[in-house]
Amino acid sequence: MSSVPDGKKLVRSPSGLRMVPENGAFNSPFSLDEPQWVPDKECPSCMQCTKKFDFLTRKHHCRRCGRCFCDKCCSKKVTLPRMCFVDPVRQCGECSRVSQKEMEFYDKQLKVLMGGTSSLTRYTSGLGGGTFIVTLGTSEKSETMMCRLSNNHRYLFLDGESHFEVELSRISSMQVLTEESTPEGGNCRASGMLLHYKPMGSQDPKQLRMEAAEDKKTASSWLAAMHKGAKLLYEARDQ
């Protein structure tokens, strides 16, 4: 399924222009659905400052939560990639702060997961990511593999002597393993990850253990980015 091309289409919604996959089944697992707007008749006043709406005080809907606000309480236009908006959209104060924090993930961590912080050769060849010692299930056999996030954000690709993929939407739990970063102790850094997932076509959970190989600094950065991504992943599932 990871080889299926992900075509995009431009759609217009009440909230603005969005660039979405032609097939909704191929949405990024980090994406959020557009909220239903609170009907105008149900919000006679701003849901933040309670100022009543009238001819001079217009109502505006936050594109992230769908609630009604006056212009003062919903004046910021912030990028919202989790809903695939092409341009920055109007958001209330609370939602704009959340969206701005999420932009760090899209601007930095996502590039780390996809291999964008590796050398130019590795990046252009699509082989960037973190290097880990990977163990499947209870097997005593391990393999050194490069792990990266696919371009559509839907799969973890693991490449070594063999190749396999884990679909993010089928991961049931994700635990970051840590170790002391200095001999003296005190500071901990991410050293590995334990995943439980269900392979395509199976309901039987599998375990995948990843431990940092020689380049522990790069692996630790990749794991930290994956940890932040997991929070968005679970939030999208609970929507």
β-strand partners of 176: 193
Interval 73-82 mean pLDDT: 94
Contact 131, 122 (CB under 8 A): no
* Amino acid making up residue 167: E
Least confident of 110-114, 195-199, 203-207, 214-218: 214-218
Residue 1 binned pLDDT confidence (cut-offs 50, 70, 90): very low
DSSP output for 96-140: HHHHHHHHHIIIIIHHHHHTTTS-HHHHHTT--SEEEEEEETT-S
Residue 239 binned pLDDT confidence (cut-offs 50, 70, 90): low
**Residue 233, Cβ neighbours under 10 Å: how many?**
19
- pLDDT of 124: 38
DSSP output for 4-28: S---EEEEEETTEEEEEESSGGG--
Dihedral sign (CA 70, 71, 73, 79)? positive
Q: Check whether 117 has a pLDDT greater than 50.
A: no
Picking from 184, 187, 168, the residue whose alpha carbon sits closest to that of residue 237 is: 168
* Amino acid making up residue 4: V
Length of the chain equals: 239
Q: What is the mean pLDDT of the chain?
A: 86
Query: Cα–Cα distance between 15 and 79 in angstroms, integer?
Result: 12
52-64 residue pLDDT tens: 999 899 999 999 9
- Name the strand (E) or helix (H) holding 186: none
The residue that leads in pLDDT, 126 or 183, is 183
